[in-house]
Structure 1
Amino acid sequence: MSGTVPDRGATSTAGSGQEGLAPWSTGPYADALRNGHGPLFLRRTDGWLLPLDVERWCAEADAADLSALRRCEGPVLDIGCGPGRLVAELASRGHRALGIDVSAAAVAHTLRIGGSALHRSVFDPLPGEGRWGTVLLIDGNIGIGGDPHGLLLRTADLLAPGGLLIAETSPLDIDERVQVRLYDGRLAPEGAGEEDRAAPGGELFPWARIGTPALLRYAQPNAWRAVDQWVADGRPFLALRRTRRVRTPSQNADTANNDAVISSQFPRNTSGESPLAGL
């Protein structure tokens, strides 16, 4: 469902709901976003590197991104929006869309390019819980927190009944939970130990990499139904729909009462602090 373009000048700050997400707030990630390019990696404790595609994140939405955005329904929440290319593209198409990110640099970039964003973790209290039409987990963000099962439960809290989750998965058939740190490829100073090679921003945090088969395994027992699956420019995507509402401990009475509000009946109250108050 398309709607009015949100107030793009609004923002807010809040602490991360998980301490492990703090490394994204400063250091190499913020520097890469300011510069518009890497190198930037997730580095496992054994030294293995996963390149992060900062240049693509800082560019306009590409054909693969658009293949996901065309499937969006109702107001859209982009979890881990980064520099905001998806939120800005949705806004330009008339969708009500909000990005959230634990990086202040990412939120600032999103606002500059015409998107709406809040400085929040997905595990913080968020506006419109239980009323979002679509939630996006793109660019590997299914790995946030290193717990795909827990992230799926949290996503279910955020979506309206029958809402849509669009996730980008790993091109590999993998289900991996690891401790990683952000690494910008700089060599350690003379005489420095191995741990210093990842500084600054070198704190370890949990991350997950899962392919489509693994995500389907997590989804089925939790009342998710796969409604679409595709690959665009080598990037695999999966669309899941919540088939029934399963009450989780993080839902309060107000969220539960919102379950009866379908996407075509979102209230238009604009008195709240959120840039999309009332959805």
Structure 2
Amino acid sequence: MSATTAPPAWAASDPYATALRTGRGPLFLRRADGWLLPLEVERWCARADAVDRAVLDRCEGTVLDVGCGPGRLVAELAARGRTVLGVDVSDAAVTRTLTVGGQALRRSVFDPLPGEGRWGTVLLMDGNVGIGGDPALLLHRMAQLLRPGGLLIAETAPLDVDERALVQVVDAARIQVAGDAEGVPAGRPFPWARIGTPALLRLAARAGWRAEAQWTSGDRRFAALRRRAARSSAEPPKRTAVISSQRPRKTSADSPVADR
């Protein structure tokens, strides 16, 4: 992992930034074969809902929200008086998080971050377990960020899938035209992953994490993992192929925020 990571191309794409500024979609992740994953822009830009609040009730100590988006979870935790920081590679996401009353930094999770090794809880919500397209590498990074015994809460795919792909952010205008029409904005492809709870738990067990809980609320699924100190200095896993699929595709002074 490099000391400084440039924001991925999609972070500055017009559809994504526009959607976050306006709070409206539709917006999608599009795979090379045309498959579309709807992104829940309206929910992300609203206040934390009952499902979100139940997740936040499980948080321990200081909280780092990775891929915080427009900041609904950061704002909710801040309103509760919790020490919380959001990180996101999107300027629009960080701006909106600050606007709604949260703290956020524009930074990749793979860049140096405040309070590494001291966070009580790290959140990977809204599918952010797919960041970087390599869940094994991301789990290793989470172990570096958390204190020994710290808690990782991840929102997983609603299906039992384990896949990697190159995707791009597109809006309704892009999917209504054939190919990549000039003048219709879309982000360049970037690696992403979709992983369900069973696959994540298998991967986590191999990496030395302890499964704390798993649950379903409506059509959303979650898993909580506990960091084990013995894995904190382990070498990062080798990167998996950018595009692969293992399953058929289914349609105080110690405050981490103080370090900047």
In the aligned structure 2, how far is the partner of 1:37 from the partner of 1:58?
Answer: 8
- Are 2:47 and 1:50 equivalent residues in the alignment? no
Q: Is the 8 A contact 1:22 1:102 kept in 2?
A: no
Secondary structure of the residue aligned to 1:183 is strand
Task: Sort the Cα spacing of 1:244 and 1:197 in 2 relative to 1 into closer, same or farther, 3 A.
Answer: farther
Q: Is the 8 A contact 1:16 1:120 kept in 2?
A: no
Q: Say which of 13, 17, 41 aligns to 2:5.
A: 17
In the aligned structure 1, how far is the partner of 2:28 from the partner of 2:4?
Answer: 21
- Are 2:187 and 1:202 equivalent residues in the alignment? yes
Amino acid at match of 1:267: A
Give CA-to-partner distance per residue, 1:12-44, whole Å, 9 cap, x none.
Answer: xxx97256x331233111000111110100000
Trace 1:194-273 onto structure 2 (pairs within 5 A): 194-196=179-181, 199-246=184-231, 247-248=233-234, 267-268=253-254
Amino acid at match of 1:277: A
Secondary structure of the residue aligned to 1:195 is coil
Q: Is the 8 A contact 2:117 2:148 kept in 1?
A: yes
1:232 to partner: Cα distance: 1.3
1:185 to partner: Cα distance: 1.5
In the aligned structure 1, how far is the partner of 2:163 from the partner of 2:41?
Answer: 22
Q: Is the 8 A contact 2:174 2:186 kept in 1?
A: no
Task: Sort the Cα spacing of 1:202 and 1:196 in 2 relative to 1 into closer, same or farther, 3 A.
Answer: farther
- Are 2:81 and 1:94 equivalent residues in the alignment? yes
Task: Sort the Cα spacing of 1:28 and 1:16 in 2 relative to 1 into closer, same or farther, 3 A.
Answer: farther
**Residue in 1 aligned with 2:113?**
126
In the aligned structure 2, how far is the partner of 1:181 from the partner of 1:143?
Answer: 13
Amino acid at match of 2:207: N
1:268 to partner: Cα distance: 4.5
Amino acid at match of 1:17: T
Task: Sort the Cα spacing of 1:161 and 1:268 in 2 relative to 1 into closer, same or farther, 3 A.
Answer: closer
In the aligned structure 1, how far is the partner of 2:192 from the partner of 2:258?
Answer: 31
Trace 1:53-72 onto structure 2 (pairs within 5 A): 53-72=40-59
Q: Is the 8 A contact 1:267 1:278 kept in 2?
A: no
Q: How many residues align?
A: 242
Q: Which runs of 5+ in 2 are unaligned?
A: 237-251
In the aligned structure 2, how far is the partner of 1:198 from the partner of 1:51?
Answer: 22
Give CA-to-partner distance per residue, 1:126-179, whole Å, 9 cap, x none.
Answer: 000000000000000000000000000001000000000000001100001011
In the aligned structure 2, how far is the partner of 1:197 from the partner of 1:28?
Answer: 15
TM-score, normalised via structure 1 length: 0.81
**Residue in 2 aligned with 1:111?**
98
In the aligned structure 2, how far is the partner of 1:223 from the partner of 1:187?
Answer: 42
Amino acid at match of 1:241: R
In the aligned structure 1, how far is the partner of 2:13 from the partner of 2:224?
Answer: 32
Q: Which runs of 5+ in 1 are unaligned?
A: 1-14, 251-265
1:195 to partner: Cα distance: 2.5
In the aligned structure 2, how far is the partner of 1:36 from the partner of 1:16?
Answer: 30
Secondary structure of the residue aligned to 1:42 is strand
Task: Sort the Cα spacing of 1:187 and 1:181 in 2 relative to 1 into closer, same or farther, 3 A.
Answer: closer
Q: Is the 8 A contact 2:13 2:187 kept in 1?
A: no
1:58 to partner: Cα distance: 0.2
In the aligned structure 2, how far is the partner of 1:16 from the partner of 1:198?
Answer: 31
Task: Sort the Cα spacing of 1:41 and 1:164 in 2 relative to 1 into closer, same or farther, 3 A.
Answer: same
Amino acid at match of 2:258: A
In the aligned structure 2, how far is the partner of 1:166 from the partner of 1:249?
Answer: 22
TM-score, normalised via structure 2 length: 0.87
1:267 to partner: Cα distance: 2.8
Q: Say which of 149, 157, 181 aligns to 1:170.
A: 157
1:118 to partner: Cα distance: 0.3
Q: Is the 8 A contact 2:174 2:184 kept in 1?
A: no
